[in-house]
Amino acid sequence: MTAEIIDGKKLAETIKQEIKTAIDDRKRQSLPIPGLATVLVGNDPASKTYVASKIKTTAALGIRSLSYELDESCPQEKLEALIQELNQNPDVQGILVQLPLPSHLSEDNVLHTISPKKDVDGIHPYNAGLLSRKYSEPLFYPCTPSGIIRMIQSVCPDISGMDAAVIGRSSIVGMPTAMMLSRCNATPTICHSQTKHLDEICRESDIIVAAAGSPGLLKGAWIKPGAIVIDVGINHIPDETQPRGYRLVGDVEFDEAVKRAGAISPVPGGVGPMTIAMLMSNTLKAIDYR
């Protein structure tokens, strides 16, 4: 058996095309167009690449883009003052602060400063709180978990009653993904670095989401035959044969996993493009909260 490949790039293109059509319609009707402000602090090359990619996609879809770059040494007060200003700016519907921030800055305080109505990343504690409440809806669902759910539903629209293992419990990926799986009536087990018997939990799961940032952590042999596997990990492995001197791999032992899984997402070309597509989708939605 060879797994169906869940092509995140293709799925993301379809979602982005729908967003572009919606934006074009708004333009035709002279309705307001959403604006996304990106805030980059420092010179981290990966963060620069992610922000550049988000700005490029924003422009391609006809969303207005405002880009702010602050020095590595930027003080907390300056960053928070910029966010307060963006909160008040009627031309800005979404605010994205690229994480991680330099270590002298408090990410928590920065995230608290963003207005929940402009929190297009869906990670403000207000939105995270609503996500965790059974009968509440957050203003925005977090981007990467939303992309993961869309990918799972692309191969299995109804996951009700399925058992799921989520490897990782971060506030932006693992934890909200588990909550969203539960909202879809799956039964998630949240795994982390202290979890005993990770292999056994995985072997019993119909869905596995690997989001640990540990290359090859999920062994092919741990996968229940036919399971859906979403590989969220992005790991840079030194590779002299590549022009950039490294290659990207996920958290899944892909070559073995593909022989057992029913469907699997690749790295690259899986969750990454979906995260950006869901950011654009949230930015379009943000116009409703003006």
| Contact residues: ligand NDP, CB under 6 A | 144, 167-170, 172-174, 191-195, 198, 211-214, 217, 232-235, 271-272, 275
Q: Nearest distance from residue 134's CB to ligand NDP, in Å?
A: 24
Active site residue: 16, 93, 98, 117, which one? Answer: 98
In the bound state with ligand NDP, the residue whose beta carbon lies nearer, of 205 and 275, is 275
The nearer residue to ligand NDP, 103 or 194, going by C-beta atoms, is 194
196 tagged catalytic: no
Shortest distance (Å) from residue 123 CB to ligand NDP = 11
**Minimal distance, residue 230 CB to ligand NDP, in Å:** 10
Closer to ligand NDP by CB, 34 or 174: give it. 174
Q: How far is the CB of 8 from ligand NDP (least distance, A)?
A: 9
User: Is-catalytic flag, 25?
Assistant: no
Catalytic residue among 54, 117, 118, 224: 54
Verify whether residue 98 is a known catalytic residue. yes
Q: Please say which residue, 34 or 272, places its beta carbon nearer to ligand NDP.
A: 272
Q: Which residue, 252 or 271, is less far from ligand NDP as judged by CB?
A: 271
To the nearest whole angstrom, how small is the minimum distance from the Cβ of residue 31 to ligand NDP? 30
* Burial zone of 119 (CB within 10 Å; 0-12 exposed, 13-18 middle, 19+ buried): buried
Q: Residue 132, Cα to own-chain centre: how many angstroms? A: 17
Catalytic residue among 119, 121, 231, 251: 121
Please state the closest distance from residue 214 (CB atom) to ligand NDP, in A.
5
On the 0-12 / 13-18 / 19+ scale of CB atoms within 10 A, 182 is: middle
SS (H, E, C) the chain: CCCEECCHHHHHHHHHHHHHHHHHHHHHCCCCCCEEEEEEECCCHHHHHHHHHHHHHHHHHCCEEEEEEECCCCCHHHHHHHHHHHHHCCCCCEEEECCCCCCCCCHHHHHHHCCHHHCCCCCCHHHHHHHHCCCCCCCCCCHHHHHHHHHHHHHCCCCCCCEEEEECCCCCCHHHHHHHHHHCCCEEEEECCCCCCHHHHHHCCCEEEECCCCCCCECHHHCCCCCEEEECCCEEEECCCCCCCEEEECCECHHHHHHHCCEECCCCCCHHHHHHHHHHHHHHHHHHHC
Specify the residue, 281 or 287, whose C-beta has the smaller distance to ligand NDP. 281
Supply the residues annotated as catalytic.
54, 98, 121
